[in-house]
Amino acid sequence: MSIDPKAYWQEEHLEKEYERIFSRSLYVGTAASLRAEGDYVSYRVCGRPFVTRNLAGTVGTFDNICLHRANLIDPIGQGNRPFRCGYHGWQYGAGGTLMRSPLANDKCISRKQLQSYATVENRGLVFASIDNDFAGVVPGEAALGAIGFEMGEAFHSETLEHEANWKLLVENVLESYHLSFVHGDSFVPTGITSTSQFANQYHGNDSCFTITNKAGSSGKDKVIPGASSDYVHAFVFPNLFISITGGLVGFVSHFKPEAPGRTLLEWQLFETPLLQSQKAVVRSYIKKNAIEFTRKVLGEDLVVLNNSQIGTRYARGAHQIQEIEGRIAQFHHIYSKMMS
């Protein structure tokens, strides 16, 4: 089973994906970025503007659209500011309630409440459901537990825009088949290649895998007891990727689809508790290398993903998924079931 190539570039498919996939559960950001009063993460999902905010000590998600004349209340991105529209100063408080509307006549205001949505935190990660229903499921719990995920101290973040459909990004991270061919200057020298032994696990809509480094420990466990050279990765459907390298550096990335052929990827590196316990000079060295390595890997992926978007637009048939790409096959099955 594979996805119809039209689903990678036709606008109608993205609209349907919003209704049947992204409105159900969506990763929006880390809890650490929303700890203080006034902290916000503002974003667009399939064109629609939302914001997740700390208001009066409670994190919630709202339409990022002023009730006055529909200006965006918070600028796209993240930061800390009053929940106030910059157009005419209308300001919102706890629960998204309109608190102040300068020079306005109350008789002309019939709506005073922003639409709000279910928001939950799990392991330092924040998720929203536009459908307002997580159906009693804690997002990502099984997959995150399987890789031993524990959010640590973030030390670097960037954004990267792809001229590619979001599903191509998902497919790319779900397989190790491409490593030797795309990442010859990054993963391969570390001992992780297309022929490295790997093990997949499936947890409902989510999945994870472990890749064993062909070069063995590479001495890491001798320098840092408890470290390894293995690579573990989890995908929390539909838009969150997490990996841990050697038990030392964690990588949290997520995307928000902006258009059928444009996807914004946001990524962040963090120290695991094991790395945080090391001397400052060791931590600094590993973090510096991790930033350089991640930039290289994502840059290599960007090229092939943008090229794949061009090819998929004119493909004469669906993908021909191989046995080594089992996680992609599972993703396609779940996608097709949700979209049917």
Each residue's pLDDT tens digit, 228-257: 888 999 999 999 999 999 999 999 999 999
The pLDDT > 90 percentage for the chain reads 91
Per-residue confidence (pLDDT) for residue 221, from 0 to 100: 52
CB contact at 8 A, 252 and 30: yes
Per-residue confidence (pLDDT) for residue 216, from 0 to 100: 60
Please report, for the domain that includes residue 306, its CATH number.
3.90.380.10
46 and 73 together in one domain: yes
Query: What is the Cβ-side half-sphere exposure of residue 175, based on CA atoms within 13 angstroms?
Result: 21
Per-residue confidence (pLDDT) for residue 248, from 0 to 100: 95
119 and 146 together in one domain: no
In a domain, 93, yes or no: yes
Does the pLDDT value for residue 32 go beyond 60? Answer: yes
Per-residue confidence (pLDDT) for residue 254, from 0 to 100: 98
281 and 332 together in one domain: yes
Per-residue confidence (pLDDT) for residue 220, from 0 to 100: 52
Total domains in the chain come to 2
Amino acid at 185: D
| Domain final position from 129, 151, 184 | 129
In a domain, 8, yes or no: no
C-alpha–C-alpha distance, residues 113 and 62, integer Å: 10
Please report, for the domain that includes residue 59, its CATH number.
2.102.10.10
199 and 296 together in one domain: yes
280 and 234 together in one domain: yes
**Strands, DSSP E only, in the chain?**
26-30, 39-45, 48-55, 58-63, 77-80, 91-92, 98-100, 116-122, 125-129, 153-162, 198-203, 206-211, 231-236, 240-245, 249-259, 262-271
| Domain final position from 63, 94, 129 | 129
In a domain, 17, yes or no: no
198 and 101 together in one domain: no
Owning domain of residue 68: 26-129
CB contact at 8 A, 308 and 168: yes
pLDDT digits (tens, 9 = 90+) for 282-320: 999 999 999 999 999 999 999 999 999 999 999 999 999
Per-residue confidence (pLDDT) for residue 136, from 0 to 100: 83
Query: What is the Cβ-side half-sphere exposure of residue 150, based on CA atoms within 13 angstroms?
Result: 9
Per-residue confidence (pLDDT) for residue 78, from 0 to 100: 95
C-alpha–C-alpha distance, residues 72 and 84, integer Å: 10
In a domain, 20, yes or no: no
pLDDT digits (tens, 9 = 90+) for 68-99: 999 999 999 999 999 999 999 999 999 999 99
217 and 316 together in one domain: yes
pLDDT digits (tens, 9 = 90+) for 190-227: 999 999 999 999 999 999 999 998 676 555 555 688 89
47 and 191 together in one domain: no
b/e burial code for range 209-234 (CB count within 10 A of at least 16 → b): bbbbbeeeeeebeeebeebbbbbbbb
Average pLDDT, the chain: 94
Per-residue confidence (pLDDT) for residue 228, from 0 to 100: 85
99 and 217 together in one domain: no
C-alpha–C-alpha distance, residues 13 and 38, integer Å: 35
CB contact at 8 A, 325 and 8: no
Per-residue confidence (pLDDT) for residue 54, from 0 to 100: 98
Q: Which two tokens stand for residue 291?
A: 């930033």
* Average pLDDT of span 114-140: 94
Q: Which of 27, 1, 2 is nearest to 257 (CA)?
A: 27
Per-residue confidence (pLDDT) for residue 222, from 0 to 100: 53
320 and 213 together in one domain: yes
226 and 92 together in one domain: no
270 and 166 together in one domain: yes
Per-residue confidence (pLDDT) for residue 137, from 0 to 100: 86
In a domain, 10, yes or no: no
* Average pLDDT of span 263-276: 96
Name the pLDDT band for 133 (thresholds 50, 70, 90). Answer: confident
The answer for residues whose C-beta is within 8 angstroms of residue 232's C-beta and 6 or more apart is 147, 148, 208, 209, 210, 211, 243, 244
| Domain final position from 129, 159, 190 | 129
